[in-house]
Amino acid sequence: MLYVVGLGLGDERDITLRGLDAVKSCERIYLEAYTSILPGIDKARLEQLYGKPVHLAHRETVESESDTILDNADKVNVAFLVVGDPFGATTHTDLILRAKELQIPVEVIHNASIMNAIGCAGLQLYSFGITISMVFFTETWRPDSWYDKVKTNRTLGLHTLCLLDIKVREQSFENMARGRLVYEPPRFMTVNQAVEQLLEIEEKRGEGAYAPTTIAVGLARVGTRDQVVKAGTLQELLTADFGEPLHSLIIPAKMHELERDYVRLFAINKEAFDKYAELA
């Protein structure tokens, strides 16, 4: 059996009881290590809980060397661990399809993900539109295809969840060109960086999808005990301190009265919030 197990968002203890039973029954355990992280948790703590070694599965392992993970999985139990929920990334769907092709039984064990835990900000989940991903800009690459999705969402009265870029085991162009297997230090986009890029693209496009005075909600380490939620104008969030990763951002459309009252609990400046929330 291949078990694809969601770990949740907080720490090693957020795994479900069914998930923990499945993991403990496995001969091999792989931790997907590139689409998300458990803040402040290393694999040693997972190994202590499971009583077994955990192998890190990087992008190249999952996408190009899936045979390693699936080897003999029709005869022994193998666990593939995913931070959040197993279906939070298409890569995991691909692994399941490969297992099915090899007639390996698969069991998926779900858990909380950012896609539903984002409700902690007080915005109704069924009022969210298309989720966008914000990637780090470079000097020569500043993609803005997400802008149209934000604009469409807000036109339809739907909130936008922005998932922020994670760079793990990335190589510089120089090292790739020289064939050197040297990786850059991990980078995690902050709310501040995301807002800076949002404002840059609005200035460039000028189509009024949002403005510096648009109310937004920044979040950090959702699901952990030191979770942070702050609401304010994009201009305010540009300099707000959210601490360690992981960060997320919500650009609300016009909020229902109950949503507005709840989000106001997190306002950096309640007077400014009241003024600009009415203008959304």
Binding residues for S-adenosyl-L-methionine: 9, 85, 88, 113-114, 164, 222, 247
Helices (H) and strands (E) in the chain, counts: 12, 12
Annotated binding site: 9, 85, 88, 113-114, 164, 222, 247
What is the Cα Rg of the chain in Å? 20
- Sequence length of the chain is 280
Is 138 in a helix, a strand, or coil? coil
Local structure of 226: helix, strand or coil: coil
Q: Which two tokens stand for residue 139?
A: 């000097």
Burial of 61 (0-12, 13-18, 19+ CB in 10 A): middle
User: Could you say which DSSP state residue 50 is in?
Assistant: H
Residue type, 217: V
DSSP state of 225: T
Q: Give Cα 62 distance to the centre of its chain.
A: 18
* Residue reference for tokens 């959702």: 222
Whole-angstrom distance, CA of residue 106 vs CA of residue 108:
7
